Amino acid sequence: MNCPQILVFFLLTCSAILLKLYYPQEQDGSIIVVEKNVGLNYGLLGDNLPSPSKVISFYKSIGITKIRIFDPNTEVLNALRGNTNISVIVGVKDQDLAALAAREEAVKDWFAINIEPYLADVNITTITVGNEVIPGPIGPHVLPVVQSLTNLVKSRNLPILISTVVDMSNLQQSYPPSAGMFKPQAREQLVPVLKFLSQMNTPIFVTIYPYFAFVSDPDHVSLDYAIFENKYPVFEDGLMKYTHIFDAIFDAFVWAMEKEGVMDLPMVVAETGWPSAGRGKFTTPRIAGTYNRNFVKHVESGKGTPKRPNSSIDGYLFATFNENQKPAGTEQNFGLYNPTNMKPIYKLF
Ligand SMILES: *[C@@H]1O[C@H](CO)[C@@H](O)[C@H](O)[C@H]1NC(C)=O
Ligand SMILES: *[C@@H]1O[C@H](CO)[C@@H](O)[C@H](O)[C@H]1NC(C)=O
Ligand SMILES: *[C@@H]1O[C@H](CO)[C@@H](O)[C@H](O)[C@H]1NC(C)=O
């Protein structure tokens, strides 16, 4: 072999070894996909999104086993048929709540149209009634719809959880976490829902965005504290030490529930994330990637928060794609992937 031949041989061998390292092969030749513990929100407010069937194949290729959709979109649910190893949280649209709360028959019809056709081959694990509508004008409709849907799935023995998604605007106070308490309107609308969920042993779904806590008070909240990069506790709250604002927010909600007599109700993080653009130096791909990777690590560590050290975090990142039909600015830039070519905006997994 002359020199160029040796070089070619070396390059081919090396790249084959490298490929093997990066893409471990199963015996049948298919690529082994490492399953992720974290879920992804799949929003559809964009006019340049890939087709749902492409998106579902994509989830499989990156090992996503759980997703959340905001309404029972037929194209997405049809694309999920047969993919029962992807579990799905399906939302009831906010604008449907008033009609559903008015009549139990309307709930039965909603279920027959939107869920029933998919039960055989789509793994619908949860239905969430409304998205961040408590506290607010349609908040009072959540409980009756949660109750009707719960009765319906129980009477049919279906393993579907019925819950709702709420945000941290329910908290009157959140610092220190042990001072966490709900606002008066949240007490009216949320506490009866929490009590019902508690009886059913169904988790409450919450959205937690350290990003908003940070941008609303950057003088007092450090970036490292907000993006899980801080190394030492920032403060102590009784015996609990807080290093990350995510944990402090989560625990403030737990304390607020306990003050209402709701003990041990599991909390699932329906959304968290960080925008990669839209607001200058604090919204870059580097910072967004750091926050999201650290959140994934938190989930994968199996560790909880200081108040709930023994229960791991169950959570969904927001969101799969940048969505260009959301309000301009940061809202359009929470995606992990570029919708037009499905390339990552930063390295996550
Ligand atoms: C789900 O199962 C299918 C077929 O068994 C497999 O091809 C796919 O990779 C799996 N998806 C995930 C995310 O594990
Ligand atoms: C549906 O998803 C749940 C939760 O991820 C999982 O435990 C269950 O095995 C899945 N069901 C099927 C039929 O794959
Ligand atoms: C967590 O588990 C440890 C070890 O089992 C136990 O000592 C501790 O009391 C638990 N903490 C809470 C808050 O449940």
Residue nearest to atom 12 of ligand 2 (CA): 84
**Is any ligand 1 atom within 6 A of the Cβ of residue 243?**
no
Task: Give me ligand 1 centre to Cα 320, in Å.
Answer: 19
CA distance 105 to 111: 10
Residue nearest to atom 1 of ligand 3 (CA): 310
Residue nearest to atom 7 of ligand 1 (CA): 60
Q: What angle do CA 338, 339, 345 make, to 5 degrees?
A: 10
Ligand in nearest proximity to the CA of 307:
3
Task: Assign 65 a pLDDT band (cuts: 50, 70, 90).
Answer: very high
The tens digit of pLDDT for each residue in 81-116 reads 999 999 999 999 999 999 999 999 999 999 999 999
Which of 80, 84, 85, 122 maximizes ligand 1 atoms within 8 Å of its Cβ, making it the mutation to test the pocket? 85
pTM over 0.85: yes
The binding-site residues of ligand 2, defined as CB within 6 angstroms of any ligand atom, are 66, 84-85, 87, 123, 125
Task: Give me ligand 2 centre to Cα 87, in Å.
Answer: 6
CA distance 268 to 349: 21
Contact partners, residue 84, CB within 8 Å, separation at least 6: 121, 122, 123
Task: Give me ligand 2 centre to Cα 284, in Å.
Answer: 36
- Considering the candidates 271, 300, 323, 331, report the single residue annotated as catalytic: 271
Q: Is the pLDDT of residue 53 over 50?
A: yes
Beta-carbon-side half-sphere exposure of residue 160 (alpha carbons within 13 Å): 29
Q: Is the pLDDT of residue 318 over 70?
A: yes
Instruction: Tell me if residue 103 falls in helix, strand or coil.
Output: coil
Does residue 161 contact residue 202 with C-beta atoms inside 8 Å? Answer: yes
Task: Give me ligand 2 centre to Cα 65, in Å.
Answer: 9
Q: What is the mean pLDDT of residues 271-292?
A: 97
Nearest to 48 by CA among 330, 322, 349: 322
**Among the ranges given (7-11, 62-66, 106-110, 235-239), the one the predictor scored with the smallest mean pLDDT:** 7-11
Q: Is the pLDDT of residue 27 over 60?
A: no
**Is any ligand 1 atom within 6 A of the Cβ of residue 65?**
yes
Q: Is 75 a catalytic residue?
A: no
Residue nearest to atom 13 of ligand 2 (CA): 84
Q: What domains are there in the chain, each with its CATH number?
A: 32-333 (3.20.20.80)
Ligand in nearest proximity to the CA of 310:
3
Contact partners, residue 46, CB within 8 Å, separation at least 6: 321, 322, 323, 324, 325, 326, 339
Task: Give me ligand 1 centre to Cα 231, in Å.
Answer: 37
Residue nearest to atom 4 of ligand 1 (CA): 83
Residue nearest to atom 7 of ligand 3 (CA): 310
Provide the token pair at 119: 């039960």
Residue 17, number of CB atoms within 10 A of its CB: 10
Does residue 255 contact residue 25 with C-beta atoms inside 8 Å? Answer: no
Beta strand segments in 44-86, E: 66-69
Confidence at residue 32, expressed as pLDDT on a 0 to 100 scale: 82
**Is any ligand 3 atom within 6 A of the Cβ of residue 309?**
yes
Confidence at residue 28, expressed as pLDDT on a 0 to 100 scale: 55
Q: What angle do CA 188, 190, 191 make, to 5 degrees?
A: 75
Nearest to 271 by CA among 308, 301, 246, 306: 246
Q: What is the mean pLDDT of residues 148-176?
A: 98
**Is any ligand 3 atom within 6 A of the Cβ of residue 310?**
yes
Task: Assign 11 a pLDDT band (cuts: 50, 70, 90).
Answer: very low
Provide the token pair at 270: 């329906």
Residue nearest to atom 2 of ligand 3 (CA): 310
**Is any ligand 1 atom within 6 A of the Cβ of residue 63?**
yes
Q: Is 132 a catalytic residue?
A: yes
Task: Give me ligand 1 centre to Cα 264, in Å.
Answer: 34
Task: Give me ligand 2 centre to Cα 121, in Å.
Answer: 11
Percent of the chain with pLDDT over 70: 91
